[in-house]
Amino acid sequence: MIPEQLTQGQYDTVYNLLSLVIAAQLFTALFLVAAQPRVLPRYRQALLVSAVVCGIAAYHYFRIFDSFRDAFVTDAVGGRGTYTQAPGASFNEGYRYVDWLLTVPLLLVELVVVLALARKLQASLLWRLIPASALMIALGYPGEVASSDAVRHVFGLLSTIPFLYILYVLFVELTKSLDRQPPAVRDTISKLRILLFASWGVYPIAYLVPLLGFDGADAWVGKQAGYSIADILAKCLYGLLIYRIARLKSFADDPAFAEAEEGTAEGHAS
């Protein structure tokens, strides 16, 4: 439930976090586009998809930011006051869900592309993962906007079923793929696996915060903070790790590419 009132501290916390997420998404997207020539052509699509994910998120965070500013107002002078819900406007929790509906499948595509698995395996993985991710998000939304705790519990639990299925498929496949990767890349893929589980795990925890008995406004702020930080980890940091994997794989696949890069580095040094 959206709180009736926010203290100045609560308002500032959400405001500043939303601003941080916009900056992180926007500039990670720019970096990933600019970094294209630094990897072999076969890995460029993964970087591009990652940049698109961050770009879509930046767009949604602009909308979330505006919605937040419209939804809460104060008449205190000098910005030290209490914020109340504005008449005629309300904070739209739906932007996050439409964002995830687009970005979660793309994050999965990114992963499958960068691992450069066999075509058939790629297709079979995506056929299982993408419908499951859409189901997870579609089932989470009614719980997110429900005014009753019971409904939040029920949809939260239903959404957890496809969530656990996705984690299971990814865990099994990522573990299998590790043996087939060049040694230099294995370590980074293990890190990616940890990041994926740690960051995706934050979303259901943030969803649960309002059910854990915190005061209404604190719980809501905690939830916004959880989703915002998780979005930085699951999109930006994840994109940067994908870039690292793509670069290490480029070196491993083509020694000439590595040498050409060294040449450039020397060129710059002299």
Q: Which residues bind ligand RET (CB under 6 A)?
A: 100, 103-104, 107, 136-137, 140, 156, 159-160, 163, 200, 203-204, 207, 231, 234-235
Owner of token pair 């994050």:
107
Question: Beta strand pairing status for 5-7 and 72-73?
Answer: unpaired
What span, in angstroms and rounded, lies between the C-alpha atoms of 95 and 91? 10
Query: Which of 31, 257 has the CB closer to ligand RET?
Result: 31
Nearest residue to the partner ligand RET, using Cβ? 140
What stretch of H or E contains 48?
A: helix 41-71
Query: Which of 197, 263 has the CB closer to ligand RET?
Result: 197
CB of 116 to ligand RET, least distance (A): 22
DSSP letters for 159-195: HHHHHHHHHHHHHHHHHHHHHHS-HHHHHHHHHHHHH
Decide: residue 58, CB within 10 A, 0-12 exposed, 13-18 middle, 19+ buried: buried
CB of 258 to ligand RET, least distance (A): 32
CB of 167 to ligand RET, least distance (A): 9
Nearest alpha-carbon partner for 242 in 54, 100, 114:
114
Query: Which of 68, 207 has the CB closer to ligand RET?
Result: 207
DSSP code at position 234? I
Nearest alpha-carbon partner for 71 in 152, 11, 8, 149:
11
Query: Which of 107, 246 has the CB closer to ligand RET?
Result: 107
Query: Which of 24, 248 has the CB closer to ligand RET?
Result: 24
CB of 152 to ligand RET, least distance (A): 9
CB of 261 to ligand RET, least distance (A): 31
